[in-house]
Each structure stands twice: as C-alpha cells, then as structure tokens.
Amino acid sequence: MVMNETTFLHSCILDGNGGARFGDTSSVAGWTKDQGVLWVHLDVNDDASRSWLADTSGLDDTVVESLLADETRPRSYSTDKGLLTVLRGVNTNPGEDPEDMVSVRLWIESDRIISTRRRRLLAVVDTRDSLEKGVGPKTSGDFLATLTGRLADRIGDFVDGIEDDVGSAEEQLGNQDQETFRHVLSALRRKIASVRRFLAPQRDALDRLYRQPGLWFSNAEVHDLREEADRITRYLEDLDLARERTMVLREEFLAQLAQEQNSRMYVLSVVAAIFLPLTFVTGLLGMNVGGLPGLESARGVIGSVVIMVGAAAVLLSFFRWKKWL
C-alpha cells in the first residue's frame, strides 16, 4: 500500500524521557524497535488509514476489526502479542454534547502503540501536547496510564457539573414553573444514565487492565492504572448518589403536585358542602305544588334567603369549630 500524508493524524517515536520525535509516513515505514516506542494515531474514517491497518500494520484480523469497529463499549483484553483496549471519554469538543461520549481504541505492544478514533478526543490531544513539551509518557505502559488519567480528569469535571446541576435543581424545587422543573429533572436523569452506561464497563476494563497488564508494564505503571480504576469507581458512586438525589427530587415534586391538587379539591369540597343545603332549600321551594309555606306571602323570598344564609353560616361555623378551615 502507498501511504500518503493523510494516513496518520500524527506519528512519533517516544524518546524515553518524556519527549518524542514527530515524523511523517516515511518515518513510520522506516521505524525499527531499537529507535524507541512508536505511536501512530489514525482516523478510521479515512480510507488510507483503514488500508494501512488492514494491509501494513501486521496486526491480526480480529485486532484490526476491533480498531475499526463503528461503536463499542469499553473493554480490554490481552494476548501474547499485545494489549487491546477500548476507552470512552466525555465529548468536550467545542459545540458538542458532553453526553455523546467518544471512544479511543488502542493496540499496545512493548515498543508500539496504535490508536484509532472516529471523532476528536481532547485527552489524546493533551497527550500529544505533553510529548511536544517533553513532559509526556516515557513507555507504552506509561502512555496508557497517562491517557486514562486524562480521560478520567474530564469525566471528573463532567460528574462535578452534574452534581452542581442536581444541587441547583434541589434549590429550585417549589420556586420554578412546574413544567420547566419537570423538563430539568428529566434532562438530569437522562444525562446521568447516558454517562453511567459507559462508565460501568470502563471501570471493569481498567480493573482488568491493572489485574492483567502487559508483561512489560512496570509496577509503577500498574499502580497508576489501579488509581485510575479507583477514580472511575468513585465517579460511578457519585453518579449513583446523584441519581438517587434526582429520584428523591422527583418524589418530592410529585408529592408537591399531589398536595396542591388536594388543596384545590378541599376548597371545592367545602364550597360544595356549603351550597348543598342552599340547593336543597331552593329546590324545595321551587316545586310547583300547593301548600308550600310562604308561597302566598310577600315575605316568602326574604324568609328563604334568611334560611339559606343561616344554613351557610351554621356550616361555616361548624367547619371552623372542627378546624377544617
């Protein structure tokens, strides 16, 4: 296959001291293991990148398929040749929805790193920048620990934002329009669910990484991976707590709605109770039959009004005595 300048998003050879020598397609083609750890990063939307993976990289077909997969959950497994890892991160690209988590797929050997993506991931950009400044990872194991740490940093910021949003919703309970509050609460619950759906398998993938790392991983690198797995676990616990808080908020919101409805029904019931005797009196006196008292008297209407007002006053007094009003 003929490589061109668009085959790799970037490629470099780690110098083992935190820096790297960035090159082009020719430097990748001429790379040998004694030069240092090679890192190539590819956009699998590009046909040249896909062809390089399939025809030139030397990877097994199953590994190539995993690196080219459209969408996949976080996972990790090792073979005698290397380590395959799929990780997710929040989408912090400008103008994008953070809930739309983006993925990075990695094939890691002791002396070579191949990473692929479909959409830009700022954690990868940060890792490249650190190498340019001479403060980046020194080995392939250090590279994986550094990248997972940068992913976890942005996930932590996102989880903190969710907790702040839940706190604001708790303060707005009862002070905001019901329809608006319902939408805010629903959006929070969807956001928590969408992020947690990928964080749970990511925790399992990192847990497997530090329990079954590559043979070339140092003890310090395994320790760093364990720390990142613990961070993801803490973020999951924070999300679970935030989800429980939204459930409590929902219950309080529904209780508030029920209380308001009960108050309205109570007022209507009191009004109906007051008008019940009045309706009875007017219905009785309105019958078109003879012998009704006051039918022939000019004061009959006045008497009827007095009876109805008196009945209403008696009922109101009774309600107040029972402390129903």
Q: What is the 3-state secondary structure (H, E, C) of the chain?
A: CCCCCCCCCEEEEECCCCCEEECCHHHHHCCCHHHCEEEEEEECCCHHHHHHHHHCCCCCHHHHHHHHCCCCCCEEEECCCCEEEEEEECCCCCCCCCCCCEEEEEEECCCEEEEEECCCCHHHHHHHHHHHCCCCCCCHHHHHHHHHHHHHHHHHHHHHHHHHHHHHHHHHCCCCCHHHHHHHHHHHHHHHHHHHHHHHHHHHHHHHHHHCCCCCCCHHHHHHHHHHHHHHHHHHHHHHHHHHHHHHHHHHHHHHHHHHHHHHHHHHHHHHHHHHHHHHHHHHHCCCCCCCCCCCCCCHHHHHHHHHHHHHHHHHHHHHHCCCC
Examine domains 10-256 and 259-321 and report if their fold is the same. Answer: no
Report the predicted TM-score, pTM, of the whole model to 2 decimal places: 0.76
Give the CA dihedral 131, 135, 141, 146, nearest 10 degrees.
-90
Q: Is domain 10-256 annotated with CATH 3.40.50.2300?
A: no
Residue pair 188/165 in contact by the 8 Å Cβ criterion: yes
Is domain 259-321 given the CATH code 1.25.40 in the classification? no
- Residue 77 phi/psi, 5° resolution? -155, 150
> Please, how many CA atoms are within 13 Å of residue 320, restricted to the half-sphere of its CB?
6
The residues spanned by each domain of the chain are: 10-256, 259-321
How many C-alpha atoms does 191 have within 13 Å on its Cβ side? Answer: 23
Phi, psi dihedrals of residue 33, rounded to the nearest 5°: -60, -30
Q: pLDDT per position in the chain (325 positions), as tens? A: 444 455 688 889 999 999 999 987 778 888 888 899 999 999 988 888 888 888 888 888 888 998 988 777 888 888 888 899 999 888 877 666 666 778 899 999 989 999 998 888 889 999 999 999 999 999 999 999 999 999 999 999 999 999 999 988 888 877 767 778 888 888 888 888 888 888 888 888 888 887 876 677 888 988 898 999 999 999 999 999 999 998 888 888 888 888 778 878 877 787 777 777 777 777 766 666 555 665 566 666 677 777 777 877 887 787 778 776 6
Task: Give residue 19's pLDDT.
Answer: 93
What integer pLDDT is reported at residue 295 of this predicted model? 59
